[in-house]
């Protein structure tokens, strides 16, 4: 295994994280043992954060970070974050009952995942649990995804980074993805956030890009 970033490894063109709970896979991913350690394959087709890693070579996550994850689904990506942030916490928010059930059972084994069933449009409902975090990651395919992201940036510490996954077709099917990405960047810029990067991940997810901002 070759280290590519903190807590992330590569072998034969595949990405891996060090399994926090050896012996347990989360979504049927391959488990690989090497020199007494167990690694979980991280599939860029299943996880947009891994598609971002593939494009950029690193992700802005460190082991001691506290993270707010909006739209955590059934925990596929959150489980890899959980392998990485061994000294931090992940507040994983999900509104739908079915994926939340999986997320909840994941958080029983993985003690650094705190699952919250809530609508990300109502941050006041979970502000007492979340407090301030070092990183925000949003993967919510809704028409008002930019407004949802802006509402939740109140939880981000100063000089910290957040990523929004933009699914262009959820916002407007009649305009080109590029126009949508520009509109999102404009809205975030107007609210005073610095746009650090826009990464197109359409090689894995059609009409998706990830925008990285700094507060
Ligand atoms: C693309 S899926 C997430 C996949 C997940 N991020 C992963 O990589 O493993 C988007 C999720 O956002 C959730 N979602 C949609 N609107 C939401 C809202 N307003 N608040 C919280 N979650 C929401 C959906 O129920 C869905 O599970």
Average confidence (pLDDT) over 187-208 = 97
Has residue 94 been placed in a domain? yes
Look at residue 172 and tell me whether its pLDDT is greater than 90: no
Q: Which residue's alpha carbon is nearest to atom 6 within ligand 1?
A: 72
Report the nearest atom of ligand 1 relative to the CA of 137.
Answer: 6
Q: Provide the pLDDT for residue 136.
A: 98
State the pairing for strand pair 2-5/8-11: antiparallel
Report the nearest atom of ligand 1 relative to the CA of 71.
Answer: 12
Residues 130-171: tens digit of each pLDDT: 999 999 999 999 999 999 999 999 999 999 999 999 998 888
Report CA dihedral (159, 65, 202, 154) to the nearest 10 degrees.
-50
Confidence of residue 54 (pLDDT cuts 50, 70, 90): very high
Residues 173-193: tens digit of each pLDDT: 888 999 999 999 999 999 999
Give the Å distance between the CA of 196 and the centre of ligand 1.
24
The full DSSP string for 163-208 is: EEEEEHHHH-TTS-HHHHHHHHHHHHHHTTPEEEEEEE-TTTSTTE
Residues in contact with 155: Cβ distance below 8 Å, sequence separation at least 6, in sequence order: 68, 123, 127, 130, 131, 132, 133, 136
Average confidence (pLDDT) over 195-212 = 97
Has residue 165 been placed in a domain? yes
Give the Å distance between the CA of 69 and the centre of ligand 1.
9
Has residue 95 been placed in a domain? yes
Rounded to whole angstroms, the Cα distance separating 87 from 63 reads: 6
Cβ burial, residue 31 (10 Å; 0-12/13-18/19+)? middle
Has residue 56 been placed in a domain? yes
Q: Provide the pLDDT for residue 171.
A: 86
Rounded to whole angstroms, the Cα distance separating 150 from 167 reads: 16
Confidence of residue 53 (pLDDT cuts 50, 70, 90): very high
Residues within a 6 A CB radius of ligand 1: 47-48, 71-73, 76-77, 93-96, 99, 119-121, 139-142
Residues 84-137: tens digit of each pLDDT: 999 999 999 999 999 999 999 999 999 999 999 999 999 999 999 999 999 999
Look at residue 212 and tell me whether its pLDDT is greater than 90: yes
Report the nearest atom of ligand 1 relative to the CA of 69.
Answer: 6
Q: Tally the domains of the chain.
A: 1
Has residue 20 been placed in a domain? no
Q: Which residue's alpha carbon is nearest to atom 26 within ligand 1?
A: 73
Q: For the domain that residue 191 is a member of, what is the CATH number?
A: 3.40.50.150
Has residue 198 been placed in a domain? yes
Among 74, 124, 140, 169, which residue has the most ligand 1 atoms within 8 Å of its CB, making it the best to mutate?
A: 140
Has residue 101 been placed in a domain? yes
Q: Provide the pLDDT for residue 145.
A: 96
Average confidence (pLDDT) over 5-15 = 95
Has residue 73 been placed in a domain? yes
Q: Provide the pLDDT for residue 169.
A: 86
Report the nearest atom of ligand 1 relative to the CA of 93.
Answer: 21
Residues in contact with 107: Cβ distance below 8 Å, sequence separation at least 6, in sequence order: 75, 92, 113, 114, 115
Q: Provide the pLDDT for residue 186.
A: 97
Q: Provide the pLDDT for residue 37.
A: 96
Rounded to whole angstroms, the Cα distance separating 138 from 128 reads: 19
Q: Provide the pLDDT for residue 174.
A: 85
Q: Which residue's alpha carbon is nearest to atom 4 within ligand 1?
A: 73
**Could you tell me the residue range of the domain that residue 104 belongs to?**
44-214
Q: How many CB atoms lie within 10 A of CB 109?
A: 13
């Amino acid at each position: 295994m070759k280290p590519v970033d903190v807590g992330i490894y590569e072998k034969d063109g595949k990405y891996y994280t060090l399994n926090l709970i050896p012996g347990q896979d989360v979504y049927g991913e391959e488990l690989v043992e090497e020199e007494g350690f167990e690694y979980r394959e991280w599939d860029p087709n299943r996880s947009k954060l891994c598609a971002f890693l593939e494009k950029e070579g690193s992700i802005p996550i460190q082991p001691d970070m506290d993270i707010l994850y909006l739209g955590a689904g059934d925990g596929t990506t959150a489980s890899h974050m959980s392998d990485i942030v061994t000294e931090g916490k992940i507040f994983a928010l999900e509104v739908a009952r079915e994926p939340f059930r999986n997320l909840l059972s994941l958080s029983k084994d993985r003690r650094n995942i705190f699952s919250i069933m809530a609508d990300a449009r109502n941050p006041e409902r979970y502000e007492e649990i979340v407090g301030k975090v070092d990183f925000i990651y949003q993967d919510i395919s809704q028409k008002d995804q930019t407004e949802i992201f802006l509402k939740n940036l109140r939880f981000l510490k100063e000089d910290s980074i957040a990523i929004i996954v933009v699914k262009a077709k959820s916002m407007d099917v009649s305009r080109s993805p590029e126009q949508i990405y520009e509109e999102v960047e404009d809205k975030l810029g107007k609210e005073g956030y610095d746009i650090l990067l826009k990464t197109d991940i359409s090689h894995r997810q059609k009409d998706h890009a990830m925008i990285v901002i700094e507060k």
